[in-house]
Amino acid sequence: MARFGIKNKEATAAVIAQEAHLPPTEGVKDDSSEGVPRSASLTSEKANELEKNVSNGDDAYDASAPAYPGKARLSLIMLGVTLFVFLVALDQVIISTAIPKITDDFHSFSDIGWYGSAYLLTSTALQPLFGRLYASFPIKTIILLSLGIFELGSLICAVAQDSKTFIVGRAIAGSGMAGGYSGCLIIISLIAPLETRPLLTSLVGAVYGIGASIGPLLGGVFTSKATWRWCFFVNLPIGGITAAVILFFLSVPKRPHEFSAIQRLKRIDWQGTVLALASIVCLLLVCQNGGVKQGWSWGSSRTVGLIVGCVAIAAVFAVDQVWMGERATLVPRICKQRTIAFGSVVNFCIGASYFSLLYFLPLYFQAVRGSSAIRSGVQNLPFIIAVILAVTVSGGLTNKYGWYMPWIFGGTAMLAIGAGTLYTFTPTTSTAQWAGLQFLAGLGPGVAFMQPFLASQCVLELRDLELGSAIVIFSQTLGGAVFVSVAQAIFQNRFVVGLRDVPGVNVDSVLAVGVSAFREVVPAELLPPVILKLQAALNDTWLISVALAGVAFFAAFGMERGHSVLDAQKAMMAALAQPQKEQTTKTED
């Protein structure tokens, strides 16, 4: 066992856990209701077989790498993982303070929602696909592929000369994010023993928060002092370092596969991915244009056709998932698990509420209060700092005590209250008030952000970790993709209707120049009523977050509440260690 770097029984059990992708078994007791993860239901025969394979140097495993890396190697791998997560977090929010300037350069006020949604669209629709790819192919290969796609998208955004090219770049970058974020969380499950994984997961959450905290400010600095294009150029050198670290230091055991690589590619539910993408595109087109653009009235054939198309394609997608069974993009067996199902609803609402606030709070400061991009980034810090503090503290306490449901209930309740208080914002709200209320609004999503993912680890079988993790992350990014567009549609409809009530204002001129430059085309005497109409439109987006947080709170009651991360870890280790004890007893006899 020394040649594999396995130094103790615990490490041996962990290798068994990594490789125990068991087929569906009928008649196996479901221990999830008793606080024991399904992953603990490893049979003695399978465990002994896997341990024997590792001990004898079976060709199915990578003998050149240890089961768990040493501290130095682990630190380097975590550097690569956290850098990728940092890039993902940075790229999601750095654009928030740059959007007004981008709309000015491209004269594309109506495309605001697409700048965020294009990224979230592909990162959402492709999330389950990457979960399947991670389960079917070498993890190192897939995560490097994801990073390469992400970097390509960033480069396209950085050099784009028009709005359409920029949106394409955002969509490509989102495709890379789809595999990157989930891949980083999966890697943690392979490079560290069970008892340290919550700590590493909370570290990832903290790094995500750091990226999110400096993103708006960094975007403001680039936009005001240089150009918004540096918001995307900055990803290239950091991505290069990330790729080098992962390439040279990440090594995980190879998995035995029944099928060849070509056969595995053919078995992937490609049609399901296409159907999911098509359905979401139809929905976003309606949300972006319905009731706003000429020819897109809610009763128009174009709008109604897309709504019908969205529903019809979604229905076909559902049928496809049932028909594909274990090969589906969203495996029905996993989706029907109670904690996964309701946890996904919770995550959907948290993601929808969080990203809506993230994209529209900078608009309040830049459009309503007339702040510069840099100043709005600073003014937005209370919200972001609250998120990072909350995700770090809640993750650390979950790691220590094991309970995650209190954080889900508390976080969603705080999110509803915090988002509701934003409704009191006015163009003259005091600094103390807007800073304090932003901080309160940020605590909710921060507290609850990682908890549904941790909950999934307590109820999933080992063989389902990649696919189940992808489903949970999919729900969160889907919520963001859909409701950034929904919020944009509501905001734009309300603002356009309000502008029409202000005599002397050219609505088309205001929409054409962008939200940070509308003061240039509106007469000075008409600015106060126009700003009030803008504030009223933003208030409606805050109410969306309130409603979503309420849905998340009540959906959480559907999740299993008897589980603890620590109890699940102990149960899993006990189950995996049992075969070794039996083997030791036989040897002594």
Alpha carbons within 13 angstroms on the beta-carbon side of residue 482 total 23
Whether the pLDDT of residue 178 is over 60: the answer is yes
- CA–CA gap between residue 360 and residue 483 (Å, rounded): 12
Do residues 255 and 19 touch, judged by C-beta distance below 8 A?
yes
3-state secondary structure of 403: coil
Q: How far does Cα 176 stand from its chain's mean position?
A: 12
How many Cα atoms within 13 Å fall on the side-chain side of residue 29? 7
For the residues of 136-170, what is the DSSP string, one character each?
A: HS-HHHHHHHHHHHHHHHHHHHHH--SHHHHHHHH
C-alpha 122/C-alpha 120 separation (Å) is: 6
Token pair listed for 325: 């069974």
Report how far residue 214's alpha carbon sits from residue 91's, in angstroms, rounded to the nearest whole number.
11
pLDDT at position 567 is 64
- The tens digit of pLDDT for each residue in 78-111 reads 999 999 999 988 888 788 778 878 888 887 766 7
415 band by pLDDT with thresholds 50, 70 and 90? very high
Share of the chain above pLDDT 90, in %: 24
Extract the tokens encoding 116.
């965020």
Query: What are 339-388's pLDDT values in tens digits?
Result: 888 989 999 999 899 888 988 888 899 889 988 777 887 888 899 889 88
Q: What is the pTM of this model?
A: 0.76
What are 336's two structure tokens?
Answer: 């029907």
Contact 95, 223 (CB under 8 A): no
Rounding to the nearest 10 degrees, give the CA dihedral for residues 123, 126, 132, 134: -40
Query: How do residues 473-508 score in pLDDT, each as one tens digit?
Result: 888 878 887 888 788 888 888 888 888 888 888 877
Q: How confident is the model at residue 73 (pLDDT cuts 50, 70, 90)?
A: confident
Alpha-helical (H) ranges within 449-502 are: 451-459, 465-499
Is 478 within 8 Å of 351 (Cβ atoms)?
yes
Give the pLDDT confidence score for residue 317 in this predicted structure. Answer: 93
Which two tokens mark 305? 């056709």
pLDDT of residue 569: 61
